[in-house]
Structure formats: C-alpha cells, structure tokens
Structure 1
Amino acid sequence: MNRKIVAVTAFALFSLFFGAGNLILPPQLGFKSGNLWWVVAFGFCLSAVLIPILGILAHAKLQGTMFDFAKKVSPTFSLVYCYIVYAISIALPSPRTASVTHEMAIQPIWDSSYLLTSIIYFALVYVFVVNRSKILDVIGKFLTPGILIVLLLIIGATIFNLDFTFGPTEFKSPFSHGILEGYQTFDAIGAVVVGGVIIISINLKETSTSYEVKKSLIRKAGWMAGLGLFLIYTGLIITGALFHDSFDADVSRTSILSGISTETLGNTANLGLSILVGLACFTTAVGIITGTADFIKGRFNDSRLAYTITTIIGCVLGVLVGQFNVGYIIAVAIPALMFIYPITIVLILLNVVPDKYASPKIFKWVVTATILFSIPDFLGSIGHAGAISSLAAWIPLREYHLGWVLPALVVFILGNLVAQKRA
C-alpha cells in the first residue's frame, strides 16, 4: 500500500478526532493533576485515544455503518442505540461548540451574551446544513494543520522554557478521573458515528484494492492517528501541569488554554488560535447536525422534510444548551455519558475481537451486564443513587464510577467458556 495513501488516511482520522472542543480538556486536567500528570494522561488517553482508534479498526473489520455495531444484540436494540447516540450528539457536543467559540473567540473581544452568540452561531449552522455547502470542507483542510502548528509551538515553548516542577494533585483517583474526563471528548461515539463514513470513502477510492489490503491500510493509518493524538493530548496535559502556579485554582478550561497560549506565544498567537478553534467548532457543529439529519432522513424514506425538521430541532437545541458556559454543559453531559459510553466501549471491543469470541449471544450477555452495572453510576451522576447504594457498594470499581468493567469482562469470559464446552 502506497505510504502516501496511508499518511493521508491517518491525517483524515486524526482530524476526525481532533475536535476543537477536546482541546480545552487536557490543559486543565494537567493543571489539576500535578505531579501525577502521567497517571491522569494514561487514563485520559485510554478512553480518548485507544478506544476511539479501536472503534475505527472495528469499522474496518465490519465494513459497515453505525447500525452494524450493535445489530448482533438485536436490530431493534441497534436502532434504539443509534437514536440515543444521535440525540446525545445534537443535544450536548454540538451546543458545546458554540459555548467554546463564545468563551475563546467572542468573549475576549466583545462583551456580548452567550445567548446572542448561540443564536447567531446556530442560525449560520442551519444555513450551512440546509444548503450543504462545500465551503467548510475546503476550510476544514486548513483548520487542523493550523491548530496543530500552534499547539506544537505552545507545547514546545512550555517544555523547553519551564522547569520541570509540579504541584500536588487535586484528584483522589487520578487514573479513573483521567478515564472519565476522556468520556467528555465524545471520541468513542465519534468513532462509531463518523468512522463508517471514512471507511465508505476509502472503499469508493480504492475499488480495485482487496478487503485485506484496505483493512491493513486502515489499521496502519489508525495507529498513526492514535500516536498523533497521544502526543498532542499528553503534551497539553504536561503543559497544564507545568503551569500549576500560574492560574487560580478555579480557572475554567477555556481560560487556561487561552492563558497558556498568551504566556507562551503572546496575544497575537492567542487570537489566531481562538479564531481557528472557533472555526473548527463551527465545522464540527455542522457535521454533527448534518449527520443526524441524514440518519433521520434515511429512516423516513429520504424525506427532505424530515431532514429539515431534524436540522431545525438540532439548531434549536444548540441555542438552548449553547447559551450556558462550557463548564455547565460538561457537567450536564456526565449522566448521558455514564449511560451511553460504557455501552459504546463494550460494543467497540466486541466488534474488534475475533468473531469466534463474539457471537450474538456473547453480545447480548455482555451488553446486558454492562447496562445493568452502569445503572448505579448513572443514578449517582444525577443524585439518585441512595435507593441502590447499599446494593451497589459491593460492586468492584464502583467508587471509581467504573462498576461495569469487571462484570462485563467476567460475563465475556464465562460466556465463551460455556460456548466452548457446548461446541
């Protein structure tokens, strides 16, 4: 396989996960992690890099769509899962892009409200989604390289100019905190939703290439993209940790990224980064709502009306949620992520392992166990865990909000042992 094709595919995958909203997470995470930044970074990269890349590898294996990820559980479950994922996507990460844009690109220049920004922002999103403009595709090709260059300069300026001294960590469980913060990137969901689009694109371009060669291409490109994400995320986390005494303890995620940019590169570069992030956020919102509208359109016999109504709903939700600050939206997202992320992770892993270890029965049993043992974490995130707290207390890793992990693993192992004995 041509190395150029591998490199281009790797960059496409990198751009898919390199969301502007994600950039605000690692610096504050590092700032609060102190001398245990490496433990936090490991946890964060596990859920924000490894799992999403495995999602792409699963797509390469399936050569299908998002629906194919869960159809072994049942077609009905898969359809419901798709609806839930799309609903979460237009209700949380899409509005968050407007809030990030306001805090990074608008607020430092104009003293306007979040509401005004979100109204104008999603009015423009509506125009671009309805007209399916190609302009953003062209702009998008320059956004990721631009942001990447600025971030590399920030990381380099920090590492080579600051002494390697760190403060104490604020986290009781740094590793699990890193994992849970990685949920907020929504990248595992992104892998399931958008990964299929990239696979289809590769299939259309490489029509004369065999399935095995295309799968090898995606594997190589996937791991290259993962390495890039790992280096950027880890670099931003260590950068935040090195600035441990430069900001107030309650500094927001957007403020610390802007502050570090100003400290290392100056006001002009920070303004440039803010504009790039704002544009990248906009393209992300357009992509999310377009993808959701396309899905609903497909469910209603390619109805243009269904596409338009879904776009309107997505933009209205964007205005309603996007008028809040980033910290609030991230907090609101926690219950939804505690519910959908464990299911998504398990579906990705089951689709990656060899088929002989992931029969439809195994899918059903493992996903069922995951859902059941995720309930305490979900209820805890909305403040209603009291009713089952005594029952949930004995679940391993429950105190780290990862109570579903061991039960899902045990069910997977026992299910396969039973299947082998019956064979």
Structure 2
Amino acid sequence: MNNSKISIKQTIMIGLMLFALFFGAGNLIFPPLIGQASGTSFWIAMAGFITTAVGLPFLGILAVARSGSDIESLSSRVHPTFGMIFSCILYLTIGPFFAIPRTATVSFEVGVSNFFQTEPSPFILFIFVAIYFFMAYKVSLNPSNLIDRIGSILTPIILLILAVMSFKGIMDPIGELGTPTPNFEKGAFFAGFNDGYLTMDALGSVTFGIVVISLMKQLGVANKIELEKLTIKVGIIAASGLALVYIALGYLGATSQSLGTFKNGGDLLSKIAFTILGHTGTILLGTVITLACFTTTVGLIVACSQYFHKILPRILYHQFVLLFSVVSALVSNVGLEAIIAYSIPVLTIIYPITIVLITLTLLDSMLNLSQSIYIGATIGAGIISLMIGLKLPFSSLLSFLPLYEQGLAWILPCIVGGLIGILFRKEKVTSHY
C-alpha cells in the first residue's frame, strides 16, 4: 500500500483526531482569559498566543515525522543517556504527574462543580475522578480505535458545541472590546506568547506525533518523504481548527470585561456561557469541557504507556495503562490549584529544552548539524531555564540577558552554546529513522 491509497476522508479524520488529542483543558480556559485581559489589543495578543500554542506544536509534529520516532530520538541527538532521562521526565510531566490530572480536575471544576450550589466536597471529586479514569482506562486499552472513537465521534461534537456558543456570542456580543491590562497594553504579543506555553501542547506534540505517525504507517505510508507530506497536511488541519477555536473563545473573552474579573479562565468561560445561552450554555460548556479533557487524557495515557512499555518491555502495555490511570487519579485528588502550582517550575525548565530540540531537528537536514551543536545549544538553554525554574540563588542576576522580561532569556545562551559546539564539531548525528 502507498500514500495514494490514503483518501482525503482518512486524512481529514486523522487531522481531527490530532486536533482532539491537543484540545484539552488549557485550550478552553486560557483563550477567553487572554481575550479579556488584552481587550482592544486582542489581535496582537492572540497572534502571540497562536505562535506558541499552535505554531510550536505543529513544528513538534513535523520534527517527529522527520526524525522518524518519538522524543527519545530527538533528545538522544544530544546523548543517549540524556535522551532516556529527558524523555522519561517529559512523559511523566505531560502524563500522570501533571497534565493528565489537570484534565480531570479542570473537567470537574468547570464541567461538574458549577452544577452544585456550594463547593463540592472532596468525596464528590473522588467519585468523579474514579469514574473518569475508569472510562479512560477502558478506552486506552485499544489505541488502534483512536481514529474512530476520537476523530469520528467526539471531535465533531466538540466543534458543534463550541460553534453554537461562539456564533451567538460573536453575532450578539456581551459588550465592546475593553481596555487592556498593563501587562497587555505595551507587550501584548509577548504576553500572549508566554501564555501559549500554558497549554503544554508543544510538549504534547512530541508524544502525540508518534501516535499519529504510527497510525499513518498502519495505513500503509512507509516512505519517509510521503510521511512528512501527509504529516504537514494533517498538521494544518489540526492547527487550523485550534487557531479558529482560540480566536473565537478569545474574542468572547475580549468582549466580556463588563462581567467583572475572574480568578481563572474556567470561571470566566462559565460566566460567558451562562450570559450568552443561560443554563443551556452552562450544560453545553460542561459537556465540551468533559469531552475535550477526556480525549486529551486518553491520548496522553496511550502515549505514555506505549513509551514506557518500549523501554520496559517486561511490563505489558495494559499494565502501564492501569498504572498511569491509577496514579493520575490519585494526583487529581490534590486539586487543580496545587497541580498547576507544582507544574510551573518543571515547565519552565523543560519547555526551552524541548523547543531547542524541535528547532535543531528541523534544521538538521539543511545545516548538517553535529552532536556537539546539539550538546552546546541544549546546555546553554538548560542552564538558564534550570536556574530560573528552580529560582536558584543569583538567578535574578540573569535580568541582563536579552528578552529576560519576555521569558526568553535562554535564547542567547542557547545560540552561544551552539556556536561553541561548532568549535568542537563531531560527526554528524545519525538519524534514528
């Protein structure tokens, strides 16, 4: 079988599946909050948000297709030991320690707790989490049906619900675009740029990528060039869907300053839905949150289980699915605020390294990069992000670095490290394809 037998319908369905895997908790709650904060600077802020929340994940998927394997292949270009360690950290971060529990708790906070007149007890959360992860466990046991269960069924439902709410909110706005907050008044692009990291989709792209690419290979795409071409098509479908949803939800937020301020995007989105569609809007919002979070949960459990089964083959895939479902359920019971607080330092450290690996992988075929360049660039970015993420002594002195205020202080050390790597140039990194 060759790529010519991959129909347009199959391509679209894989693209919708990829969209659904990306589209989770953060993708719903952050755009309206950014919109409300940016006000009349909405379009500039949204351009920055889309750059990191859509552009980086797209490049991540393409980098995985070009390398022919998962994040371990990318990070092993620095060193095999580093590749193993970094891959495990990344999978655990976007898996059972942070991202998977976040999907469950956001689903509960926005999709369930709003139906209670008072704050639900921890026992209610425990019951919800138990049911949620039991269902996720059952679906994750058969990942070969992801395209049917997610791409064909859940994604259209999600898009339909969002379309109804967004269309009415745009045709009959809550109010006019408000005044930007100080953070967005002068630096709207970079404010949105940094908020795009919160979706964690660039991290997820290097795990979701291998799920999608494996599916393409199952459908008969064996040629590397054809695989990259199909990946671009599928990526464009998913990226376009994400961008449209972000713009729609962000615009709803930008017109909602009259509703007051909110502690998080979930509360704001709930208020917007109620204002636009009444109680029906609340039900629709709860449905879309639950579906979006659930699809992301399944995708992450599958990706994590496949990876750890690969490096620890004595433990069966279904055993890892059970393990990660149980651990994620336990972590979920600490609550959303605690999960977010614990995840921020880790994300601050690993995000720059991931971006460096994605960028170098995409440049590799054109520039014939050596291992020493990978090592130098990764060390340069890693040291700075480690100091800032852990708030080590004297880390505040790094403010002299360019783009420090924009959260990109690691870029110059990364470039310097890469240039130093040229001086110690070793053999070209061998592709793991």
Scaled to the shorter chain, the TM-score interval is: 0.7 to 0.9
Say which of 166, 174, 190 aligns to 2:188.
174
Structure 1 counterpart of 2:40, one-letter code: N
Using the TM superposition, give the Cα deviation of residue 419 of structure 1 relative to its aligned residue in structure 2, in angstroms.
5.9
Say which of 350, 360, 365 aligns to 2:360.
350
Using the TM superposition, give the Cα deviation of residue 54 of structure 1 relative to its aligned residue in structure 2, in angstroms.
0.4
Using the TM superposition, give the Cα deviation of residue 9 of structure 1 relative to its aligned residue in structure 2, in angstroms.
3.0
Change (3 A) 1:217 1:261: same
Greater Cα offset, 124-133 or 292-301? 124-133
Secondary structure of the residue aligned to 1:129 is: helix
Secondary structure of the residue aligned to 1:72 is: coil
Q: Deviations over 1:221-272 (max 9, x none)?
A: 21232122112112211220111111x3234211111221222233224303
The answer to whether residue 189 in structure 2 is matched with residue 190 in structure 1 is no
Using the TM superposition, give the Cα deviation of residue 277 of structure 1 relative to its aligned residue in structure 2, in angstroms.
1.9
Which residue number in structure 2 is paired with residue 406 of structure 1?
Answer: 412
Which residue number in structure 1 is paired with residue 254 of structure 2?
Answer: 241
Whether the 8 Å CA contact 2:373–2:422 is kept in 1: the answer is yes
The answer to whether residue 274 in structure 2 is matched with residue 266 in structure 1 is no
Give, in whole Å, the separation in 2 of the partners of 1:203 and 1:62.
14
Which residue number in structure 1 is paired with residue 110 of structure 2?
Answer: 104
Structure 1 counterpart of 2:47, one-letter code: F
Which residue number in structure 1 is paired with residue 236 of structure 2?
Answer: 223
Give, in whole Å, the separation in 2 of the partners of 1:52 and 1:309.
26
Which residue number in structure 1 is paired with residue 340 of structure 2?
Answer: 330
Which residue number in structure 2 is paired with residue 15 of structure 1?
Answer: 20
Secondary structure of the residue aligned to 1:195 is: helix
Change (3 A) 1:186 1:250: same
Give, in whole Å, the separation in 1 of the partners of 2:156 and 2:217.
25
5+ long unaligned stretches in structure 2: 427-433
Give, in whole Å, the separation in 1 of the partners of 2:131 and 2:241.
34
Using the TM superposition, give the Cα deviation of residue 143 of structure 1 relative to its aligned residue in structure 2, in angstroms.
2.1
The answer to whether residue 324 in structure 2 is matched with residue 316 in structure 1 is no
Whether the 8 Å CA contact 2:136–2:294 is kept in 1: the answer is no
Using the TM superposition, give the Cα deviation of residue 299 of structure 1 relative to its aligned residue in structure 2, in angstroms.
2.4
Change (3 A) 1:398 1:277: same
Using the TM superposition, give the Cα deviation of residue 385 of structure 1 relative to its aligned residue in structure 2, in angstroms.
4.6
Give, in whole Å, the separation in 1 of the partners of 2:139 and 2:325.
15
Which residue number in structure 2 is paired with residue 388 of structure 1?
Answer: 395
Which residue number in structure 2 is paired with residue 213 of structure 1?
Answer: 226
Structure 1 counterpart of 2:359, one-letter code: L
Change (3 A) 1:374 1:263: same
Change (3 A) 1:284 1:17: closer
Say which of 39, 42, 48 aligns to 2:47.
42
Which residue number in structure 1 is paired with residue 177 of structure 2?
Answer: 165
Using the TM superposition, give the Cα deviation of residue 14 of structure 1 relative to its aligned residue in structure 2, in angstroms.
1.8
Give, in whole Å, the separation in 2 of the partners of 1:202 and 1:57.
13
Give, in whole Å, the separation in 2 of the partners of 1:374 and 1:132.
34
Using the TM superposition, give the Cα deviation of residue 361 of structure 1 relative to its aligned residue in structure 2, in angstroms.
1.7
Structure 2 counterpart of 1:362, one-letter code: I
Greater Cα offset, 58-67 or 7-16? 7-16
Change (3 A) 1:324 1:332: same
Change (3 A) 1:353 1:114: farther
Identity %: 30
Whether the 8 Å CA contact 2:51–2:193 is kept in 1: the answer is yes
Whether the 8 Å CA contact 1:59–1:196 is kept in 2: the answer is yes
Which residue number in structure 1 is paired with residue 213 of structure 2?
Answer: 199
Give, in whole Å, the separation in 1 of the partners of 2:135 and 2:158.
25
Say which of 242, 250, 260 aligns to 2:262.
250
Say which of 127, 146, 171 aligns to 2:157.
146
Structure 2 counterpart of 1:153, one-letter code: V
Say which of 32, 57, 60 aligns to 1:55.
60
Using the TM superposition, give the Cα deviation of residue 368 of structure 1 relative to its aligned residue in structure 2, in angstroms.
0.9
Secondary structure of the residue aligned to 1:249 is: coil
Say which of 62, 86, 91 aligns to 2:97.
91
Whether the 8 Å CA contact 2:23–2:292 is kept in 1: the answer is no
**TM-score with structure 2 length normalisation?**
0.85
Give, in whole Å, the separation in 2 of the partners of 1:357 and 1:180.
31
Give, in whole Å, the separation in 1 of the partners of 2:399 and 2:262.
31
Q: Deviations over 1:129-161 (max 9, x none)?
A: 278455994553322211212222322222222
Give, in whole Å, the separation in 2 of the partners of 1:260 and 1:98.
22
Change (3 A) 1:108 1:231: same
User: Structure 1 residue runs of 4+, over 4 Å off?
Assistant: 130-139, 413-420
5+ long unaligned stretches in structure 1: none
Change (3 A) 1:245 1:409: farther
Whether the 8 Å CA contact 2:301–2:324 is kept in 1: the answer is no
Change (3 A) 1:132 1:88: closer
Number of residue pairs matched by the alignment: 411
Give, in whole Å, the separation in 1 of the partners of 2:353 and 2:303.
21
Using the TM superposition, give the Cα deviation of residue 75 of structure 1 relative to its aligned residue in structure 2, in angstroms.
0.8
Give, in whole Å, the separation in 2 of the partners of 1:358 and 1:229.
32
Give, in whole Å, the separation in 2 of the partners of 1:7 and 1:362.
38
Structure 1 counterpart of 2:57, one-letter code: P
Using the TM superposition, give the Cα deviation of residue 10 of structure 1 relative to its aligned residue in structure 2, in angstroms.
2.3
Give, in whole Å, the separation in 2 of the partners of 1:146 and 1:126.
22
Give, in whole Å, the separation in 2 of the partners of 1:267 and 1:418.
64
Which residue number in structure 1 is paired with residue 125 of structure 2?
Answer: 117
Whether the 8 Å CA contact 2:33–2:253 is kept in 1: the answer is yes
